[in-house]
């Protein structure tokens, strides 16, 4: 059997070109791993519907290469799994809800079309949280079965792109599509020791994605290496007239981005760039040392910072006034998510047309408290008297962060993605992350989400008991290429990516 663990895009395509193996053989090897480790054995449970045509599509790519002597595109023959928030033609797509267990879209999301045009082989779909709105991996479409963390099967993978992160980490694919509203790429990337990028909102089309907060939603690439993440981003970015937010992509193109024609064009300069970089450390969002879980994260992240500092990186502490307020109050899940999801349901007449008809106002499952509250929020966000003030304060926060970065001449901000390591499954039901009756998950990812800036999670290390920890870097709008270059340097210096033990 073909050995595919930790294989990269470059290594796979070298195999195609030299004839050592074919795209069909590569896809088959990953599907075999999924059958052995994801659907059986330890049953990681990272995948949902699998493609019945992937092997035929890979064979067509093999024929194309044989006949033309050329690869079809940047992702020729590269296996990709897609978060089940995303429409995929001919494949069951559930959006993380039992009501959509039999939903089969008749066309692909724009991102899926773009990936296929680049030569990607779509293997199937990945698990996600209920309506992409929960910090734990379980959802009604899987009868509330958790996705297991490949590094410790008693721990969760985070959400809502938890299946994508677990599948990449466990070597069930080379690449995966994630989506990030409040941290749904970066939290599971941190928990699964992979690289995940949240781009500037509008750089990638959301057409065909079930939304959560349209002003914050963005698909993004998830991979084991920064290079593969950058190459995947190349094939996801596009202007889409059906998604007006992608004026961002048109603006980026008009600005000549990415430089060199690819987000990977200058990655090799990343080691020198991180050594010369000036990074602002947001220590306000490190957890208290008195908490053993926070202490474990702090230790791993501070060790990573120390290693980078010894390599030459300059770190300075920065302070943002009223940070906790700005990272929570401007969030509008309870004000507009019902409206945004309902607008998507309106394009699916065979599904219920209102979230309030799908979920109860309250649930006996603590992890669904926010989702239920969303479902019974206002039908129009403008009916909430706080909505305008939240938007105004969101924009005020963005200006403050922009000015902080510019005035100090920073290349990026950094902090732990999450203040605790991957939680245990029982933490979803014990109320560990509830405070005064409200969900209070200790994520730091809301910072970039609220201001809608790009951010990348890179493996930082592990706790003493082997749980993965990520470190996040946040840039200004349109700075994806800069962040990827810095992340390449971080990756090279830290070398913190490790294969999950036991999944051979």
**Residues noted as catalytic:** 83, 160, 184
Max alpha carbon distance in the chain (Å)?
Answer: 65
Cβ pair 287, 299 in contact under 8 A: no
The end-to-end CA distance of the chain, in Å, is 12
Asked if 491 and 225 count as a contact pair (C-beta separation under 8 A), the reply is: yes
Token pair recorded at residue 212: 């959560």
Q: How is 5-49 classified by DSSP, letter by letter?
A: TT--HHHHHHHHHHTSS-HHHHHHHHHHHIIIIISSTT----EEE
Count other Cβ atoms within 10 Å, centred on residue 425. Answer: 18
How many C-beta neighbours within 10 Å does residue 306 have?
11
- Cβ(415)–Cβ(447) under 8 Å? yes
Residue 325 makes CB contacts below 8 A (sequence gap 6+) with: none
d(CA 270, CA 273): 5
Q: Is 178 helix (H, G, I), strand (E, B) or coil?
A: strand
Euclidean distance between CA atoms 128 and 181, whole angstroms:
13
Give the C-alpha separation, 14 to 200, whole Å: 32
Residue 136: half-sphere exposure toward Cβ, Cα within 13 Å: 30
Structure tokens at 179: 């989506």
* Cα four-point dihedral sign 450, 456, 462, 466: positive
């Amino acid at each position: 059997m073909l050995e595919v663990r930790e294989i990269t895009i470059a290594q796979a395509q070298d195999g195609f070109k030299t004839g050592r193996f074919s795209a069909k053989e590569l896809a088959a090897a990953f599907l075999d791993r999924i059958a052995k480790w994801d659907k059986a054995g330890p049953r990681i449970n990272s995948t949902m519907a699998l493609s019945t045509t992937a092997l035929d599509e890979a064979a067509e790519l093999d024929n194309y290469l044989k006949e033309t002597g050329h690869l079809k595109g940047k992702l020729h023959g590269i296996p990709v799994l897609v978060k089940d928030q995303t429409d995929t033609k001919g494949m069951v797509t559930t959006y993380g809800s039992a009501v959509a267990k039999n939903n089969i879209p008749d066309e692909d999301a724009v991102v899926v079309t773009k990936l296929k045009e680049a030569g990607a082989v779509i293997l199937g779909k990945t698990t996600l949280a209920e309506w992409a709105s929960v910090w734990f991996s379980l959802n009604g479409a899987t009868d509330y079965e958790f996705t297991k963390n490949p590094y410790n099967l008693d721990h969760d993978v985070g959400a809502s792109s938890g299946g994508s992160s677990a599948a990449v980490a466990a070597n069930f694919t080379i690449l995966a599509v994630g989506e990030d509203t409040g941290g749904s790429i970066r939290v599971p990337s941190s928990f699964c020791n992979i690289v995940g990028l949240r781009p500037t909102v509008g750089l990638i089309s959301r057409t065909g994605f079930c939304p959560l907060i349209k002003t914050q939603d963005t698909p993004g690439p998830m991979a084991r290496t920064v290079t593969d993440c950058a190459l995947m981003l190349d094939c996801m970015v596009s202007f889409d007239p059906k998604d007006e937010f992608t004026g961002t992509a048109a603006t980026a193109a008009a600005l000549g981005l990415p430089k060199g024609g690819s987000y990977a064009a200058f990655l090799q300069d990343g080691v020198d760039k991180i050594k010369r970089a000036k990074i602002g450390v947001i220590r306000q969002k490190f957890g208290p040392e008195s908490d053993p879980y926070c202490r474990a994260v702090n230790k791993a992240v501070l060790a990573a910072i120390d290693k980078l500092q010894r390599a030459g990186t300059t770190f300075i502490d920065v302070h943002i006034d009223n940070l906790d307020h700005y990272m929570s109050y401007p969030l509008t899940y309870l004000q507009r998510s019902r409206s945004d999801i309902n607008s998507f349901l309106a394009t699916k007449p065979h599904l219920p047309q209102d979230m309030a008809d799908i979920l109860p106002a309250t649930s006996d499952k603590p992890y669904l408290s926010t989702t239920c509250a969303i479902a019974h929020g206002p039908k129009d966000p403008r009916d909430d008297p706080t909505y305008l003030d939240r938007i105004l304060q969101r924009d005020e926060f963005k200006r403050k962060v922009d000015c902080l970065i510019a005035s100090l001449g920073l290349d990026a901000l950094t902090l732990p993605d999450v203040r605790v390591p991957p939680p245990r499954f029982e933490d979803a039901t014990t109320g560990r992350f509830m405070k005064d009756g409200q969900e209070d998950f200790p994520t730091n990812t809301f910072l970039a989400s609220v201001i809608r800036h790009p951010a990348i999670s890179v493996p930082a290390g592990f706790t003493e008991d082997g749980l993965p920890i990520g470190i996040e870097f946040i840039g200004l709008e349109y700075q994806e290429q800069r962040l990827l270059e810095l992340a390449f340097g971080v990756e090279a210096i830290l070398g913190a990516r490790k294969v999950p033990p036991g999944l051979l």
